[in-house]
Amino acid sequence: MKINQDGKIIELTAVRWNSTSKTLTLIDQRMLPERLELLELHDAPSVYHSIRKMVVRGAPAIGLTGVYGLLMELIACEKKGLEKSVIAKTLESAFQLIMSSRPTAIDLKNLMQDWLNYVKSNSYRLDEAEKYAIQLFEQNKQECYQIGVHGSKLFFENAHVLTHCNAGALATADYGTALAPMRIAKSKHIPFHVWVDETRPRLQGARLTAWELANEDIPHKIIVDSSAAFLMSEGLIDFVIVGADRITGDGWVANKIGTMSLAISASHFGIPFYVAAPWSTFAPHVSKEESQIEYRDQSEVLHCPGAGKIANPSSEALNPAFDWTPEDLVTGFITSKGILQYEELFEKSSV
Ligand code: MRU
């Protein structure tokens, strides 16, 4: 990801493994766009807290952070010279701890489970474990790039695309999911414009997506979430691309709260609605019923960053962080293997 820092362009990723110091560096996304701050993590508990407090957020990014959290735990076990049975137990409790940080993004479970299975079958060998963590990171990066290549075919001259939340490089190993097609379309010199939903209450759109697009010189404007239907009715939106936190086997897409309203509005006005996701977001053996939507603290709704308390002091709030969109409202799933219909996800997935 390119970052415009004081007029200088630097390359940075939201999640970065340091092979020499065996530590993990995260961009502290709570500070953006005001400040670019990095945080160095050394163990699984700090990974748990960073995901929980949303230092790092976005389904694939938290999954990859979880994997590196387990890797750091394995490194600590090796340093102590622990036996394999103790290592197995330690990794299992680190897995459970990190899993309890946030419940909705299935990438957290899928990526950590994948890494654990590999490491177990390789007798907890450290070199193999580190190589595989890096491989999962690179795989997500490549997948996101391919999502960009396929998704960019949707773009035409002067297209107006709407996106919700942040499904950008900050939410993945790089490139993003919903934002990858925009990056590739830009590199093909196709002129287009992005409507960025501000994404109340944590403002991932206004803060993070707008920051990423500004860094790439992609023309965009921030809108309040509730204005999307109006813009659609005025013919100002050609198509919508969002990310996903899990795609279940019974046909539901969990994504940032507000996604379902967008899909219903888009369907009403005949506007194509796309979901971009890597395979780690796909959960063919999990149903909506078995899944949990995260409810976050009401203070996020009652307060506004920078403005303090904005609501009536005696009123309470409800703060679901995600919602469910039925697959029949999705025009297509932008994947690394092309733009697919829901049923085709099962054929193409190796999960
Ligand atoms: O609460 P967040 O910021 O973690 O929510 C993120 C989203 O809903 C994204 O759209 C989703 O994780 C896809 S990220 C490629």
Distance of alpha carbon 82 from alpha carbon 84, whole angstroms = 7
Q: Tell me: the pLDDT tens digits for 33-78? A: 999 999 999 999 999 999 999 999 999 999 999 999 999 999 999 9
In this prediction, residue 236 carries a pLDDT of 98
Distances (CA, A) of 187 to 8, 25, 339: 20, 28, 20
Q: Please give the distance of CA 89 from its chain centroid, rounded to a whole number.
A: 29
Q: Can you give the three-state secondary structure of the chain, one letter per residue?
A: CEEEECCEEEECCCEEEECCCCEEEEECCCCCCCCCCEEEECCHHHHHHHHHCCCCCCHHHHHHHHHHHHHHHHHHHHHHCCCHHHHHHHHHHHHHHHHCCCCCCHHHHHHHHHHHHHHHHCCCCHHHHHHHHHHHHHHHHHHHHHHHHHHHHHCCCCEEEEECCCCCHHHCCCCCCCCHHHHHHHHCCCCEEEEEECCCCCCHHHHHHHHHHHHCCCCEEEECHHHHHHHHHCCCCCEEEECCCEEECCCEEEEECCHHHHHHHHHHCCCCEEEECCHHHEECCCCCCCCCCCECCCHHHHEECCCEECCCCCCCCCCECEEEEEHHHCCEEEECCEEECHHHHHHHCCC
pLDDT at residue 234 is higher than 80: yes
Which among 114, 245, 250, 328 is annotated as catalytic?
A: 245
In this prediction, residue 4 carries a pLDDT of 85
Q: Band the pLDDT of 141: cuts 50, 70, 90.
A: very high
pLDDT at residue 350 is higher than 80: no
What amino acid occupies position 247?
A: I
In this prediction, residue 186 carries a pLDDT of 98
pLDDT at residue 136 is higher than 80: yes
Catalytic residue flag (residue 245): yes
In this prediction, residue 7 carries a pLDDT of 82
pLDDT at residue 348 is higher than 90: no
Q: Tell me: the pLDDT tens digits for 149-200? A: 999 999 999 999 999 999 999 999 999 999 999 999 999 999 999 999 999 9
Q: Retrieve residue 23's tokens.
A: 């530590």
Which residue's C-alpha comes closest to atom 5 of ligand 1? 58
The residues that bridge with 252 in the sheet, in sequence order, are 326
Which residue's C-alpha comes closest to atom 10 of ligand 1? 243
Q: In degrees, to the nearest 5, what angle opens at C-alpha 278 toward C-alphas 18 and 158? A: 105
Which one of 13, 27, 29, 165 would you pick to mutate in the ligand 1 pocket, going by the greatest count of ligand atoms within 8 A of its CB? 165
Question: What is the chain's mean pLDDT, rounded?
Answer: 97
Q: List all residues 6 or more positions away from 287 whose beta carbon is below 8 Å from its beta carbon.
A: 248, 249, 250
Distance of alpha carbon 79 from alpha carbon 247, whole angstroms = 39
pLDDT at residue 235 is higher than 90: yes
In this prediction, residue 351 carries a pLDDT of 58
State the distance from the centre of ligand 1 to the C-alpha of 170, rounded, in angstroms.
Answer: 10
In this prediction, residue 124 carries a pLDDT of 97
Q: List all residues 6 or more positions away from 89 whose beta carbon is below 8 Å from its beta carbon.
A: none
In this prediction, residue 263 carries a pLDDT of 98
Q: Which residues line ligand 1 (CB under 6 A)?
A: 57-60, 105, 165, 167, 171-172, 177, 204, 243-245, 255-256, 321
What domains are there in the chain, each with its CATH number? 2-143 (1.20.120.420), 156-348 (3.40.50.10470)
Q: Tell me: the pLDDT tens digits for 328-339? A: 999 999 999 999
pLDDT at residue 290 is higher than 80: yes
Distance of alpha carbon 45 from alpha carbon 41, whole angstroms = 9
What amino acid occupies position 246?
A: R
